[in-house]
Amino acid sequence: MTKTYLTLLVLTAGVLSCKQLACAADPTHADQPALPPAEAISRLKEGNGRYTSGNQQHPHESSEERTYMATASYENLGMTAAEAATRRAELKTSQHPFAIVLSCSDSRVPPEIVFDQGLGDLFVIRVAGNVIDDQSLGSIEYAVDHLAVRLIVVLGHQRCGAVKAARETIAAKSEAPGHIQSLVTAIQPAVEATAKGDLKTTVEANVRNVAQALRSSTPILKPKVDSGELKVVGAYYSLDTGAVAFTDEK
Ligand SMILES: [Zn+2]
């Protein structure tokens, strides 16, 4: 029985003090220990394994939970009635995602689906080419600082159109139209570092660059990376197989 569940039992009994209420609503409180990075990676790998093998559990997806609640078939979700109720109660007032995923906006790479996760599990930032700007960095910092998330995954993918466009635009010494050029500029260091490589090489270099930029980002991320509290890893999604390969796991 988890501490969260115990807290909710106490809440149900109506004997929770104000101090405890404040704690329960505070995602960084010790009552809600954040998942360590290694365990978060394992959970993502397990989910991706379910996805690639066609054995998805579709956990924590509200329509499923509602349907099964109506028929009292919680066992089909691998959840008891109490667990399903606990999950909804948790999400009503707070969120406790166990990983941040910075992924490409590509419609074929939705993190919740490829990692077989549900509501409240992942804090997701999506932008073409999985690059960062101030707003996306601020979003990541919020999840680390306020939600106590301890793992950041930078997820690149096979045949990424944004990286391909950046390679072609830079090779042609051209400029992309409108604001698309801002993506080209962000991906440019990876393109220049892999001028003789293929598209996959550039995608992987871009993931490495972004992951490293996050690791060295001050004032919020770097100290937590240095202390081991926070981990930033790269990953590559194969459109062909659905498999995610993690890199920089050390
Ligand atoms: Zn892409």
Taking a 5 Å cut-off on Cβ, the residues next to ion ligand 1 are 104, 106, 160, 162
Residue 188 has pLDDT above 90, yes or no: yes
Cβ-based neighbour number of residue 225 at 10 Å:
17
* 158 alpha carbon – ligand 1 mean position (Å): 8
110 lies in some domain: yes
Gap between the Cα atoms of 156 and 69, Å rounded? 37
Say how many Å lie between the CA of residue 86 and the centre of ligand 1.
Answer: 36
Q: What is the DSSP string of 33-95?
A: PPPPHHHHHHHHHHHHHHHHHT----TT-HHHHHHHHHHT-GGGGT--HHHHHHHHHHHHH--
- Does the structure show a pLDDT above 70 at 144? yes
Q: Residue 84: which pLDDT band, with cuts at 50, 70 and 90?
A: confident
Residue 85 in domain: no
User: Ligand 1 center to residue 9 CA distance, Å?
Assistant: 44
CATH classification of the domain holding 236: 3.40.1050.10
Distance 238 CA to ligand 1 centre (A): 11
Quote the ligand 1 centre to 244 CA distance (angstroms).
Answer: 14
51 C-alpha vs ligand 1 centroid, how far in Å?
A: 20
Asked whether residue 70 is assigned to any structural domain, the reply reads no
Ligand 1 center to 103 CA (angstroms): 8
Q: How confident is the model at residue 248 (pLDDT cuts 50, 70, 90)?
A: confident
pLDDT value of position 86 = 77
Span between the terminal Cα atoms of the chain, in Å: 31
If you average pLDDT over residues 6-32, what whole number do you get?
Answer: 38
Average pLDDT, the chain: 85
Q: What percent of the chain has pLDDT over 90?
A: 69
Give the domain range for residue 1.
1-33
Beta-strand relationship, 99-103 and 122-126: parallel
52's tokens: 């690639």
Q: What is the pLDDT of residues 193-217, one digit of tens each?
A: 999 999 999 999 999 999 999 999 9
Q: Check whether residue 147 and residue 107 sit in a common domain.
A: yes
Q: What is the whole-number distance in angstroms between the Cα of residue 224 and the centre of ligand 1? A: 28
| 22 lies in the same domain as 47 | no
| Total domains present in the chain | 2
Give residue-wise pLDDT tens across range 24-62: 334 444 445 789 999 999 999 999 999 999 999 988 886
* Within a domain: 69: no
Residue 12 or residue 229, greater confidence: 229
pLDDT tens string 149-173: 999 999 999 999 999 999 999 999 9
pLDDT confidence bin for 17, thresholds 50/70/90: very low
The answer as to whether 8 is a domain residue is: yes
Cα 182 to ligand 1 centroid, rounded to whole Å: 15
Residue 214 in any domain: the answer is: yes
Cα 8 to averaged position of ligand 1 atoms, centre (Å)? 41
62-83 pLDDT, tens digit each: 666 545 545 544 445 567 778 7
pLDDT of residue 213: 98
Q: How remote is the CA of residue 47 from the centroid of ligand 1, in Å? A: 21
Q: Are residues 109 and 186 in the same domain?
A: yes
Tokens of 234: 């790269």
Alpha carbon of 29 to ligand 1 centroid (Å): 36
% the chain with pLDDT above 70? 78
Give the pLDDT score at 85: 76
Q: Considering only CA atoms, which of 56, 97, 52, 111 is closest in space to residue 235?
A: 111
